[in-house]
């Protein structure tokens, strides 16, 4: 019995669905891994009674794993990108709560606005500093690798 011949569009539709399913599975798996790391860090924070949120400890652990090579960035990129793209949804409850306290905003709105602006500026400065330091470290490491490669080439 001869195998059925599929039209090119049917083959493309099947491969397109398969690739979408693979992408969704990869995002779910990577997001689950990030959530698992957060849960583990939160458990350790509660166990040791650290005065730091579990998410911060988890972030530091993930950063250390990325720097030392324990986790390749491609292993978590799709999940992290998905989480970041939907980050606005996580702030909706805060916006709804702000609507409930209209009187507070009428009385002390300028103070709250000042705190928000100052906090935003501090975060921007801290991120700029961290990015600058990371770029310097990356340049130093690249220069060191180039010098080692040049010395190895001479030998």
pLDDT of 10 over the 60 cut:
no
Q: What is the pLDDT of residues 50-102, one digit of tens each?
A: 998 888 899 899 999 999 988 888 888 998 888 888 777 766 666 666 677 77
**pLDDT (0 to 100) of residue 68:** 92
pLDDT of 5 over the 60 cut:
no
- Two structure tokens written together for 137: 């470290």
Between 141 and 19, the higher pLDDT residue = 141
Residue 47 DSSP class = H
Q: What is the pLDDT of residues 38-53, one digit of tens each?
A: 999 999 999 999 998 8
The answer to which of 93-107, 110-124, 133-147 has the lowest mean pLDDT is 93-107
Place of tokens 């493309």: 12
Q: Which residues contact 29 (CB under 8 A, 6 or more apart)?
A: 79
């Amino acid at each position: 019995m001869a195998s059925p011949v599929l039209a090119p569009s049917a083959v493309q539709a099947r491969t397109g669905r398969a690739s979408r399913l693979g992408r969704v599975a990869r995002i779910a798996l990577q997001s689950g891994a990030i959530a698992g790391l957060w849960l583990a860090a939160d458990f350790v924070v509660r166990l040791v009674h650290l005065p730091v949120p579990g998410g911060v400890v988890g972030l530091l652990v993930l950063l250390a794993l990325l720097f030392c090579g324990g986790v390749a960035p491609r292993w978590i990129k799709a999940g992290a990108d998905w989480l970041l793209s939907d980050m606005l949804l996580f702030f909706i409850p805060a916006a709804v709560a702000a609507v409930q306290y209209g009187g507070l905003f009428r009385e002390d709105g300028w103070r709250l606005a000042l705190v928000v602006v100052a906090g935003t500026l501090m975060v921007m400065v801290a991120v700029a500093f961290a990015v600058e330091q990371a770029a310097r470290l990356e340049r130093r490491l690249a220069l060191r690798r180039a010098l080692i490669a040049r010395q190895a080439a001479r030998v």
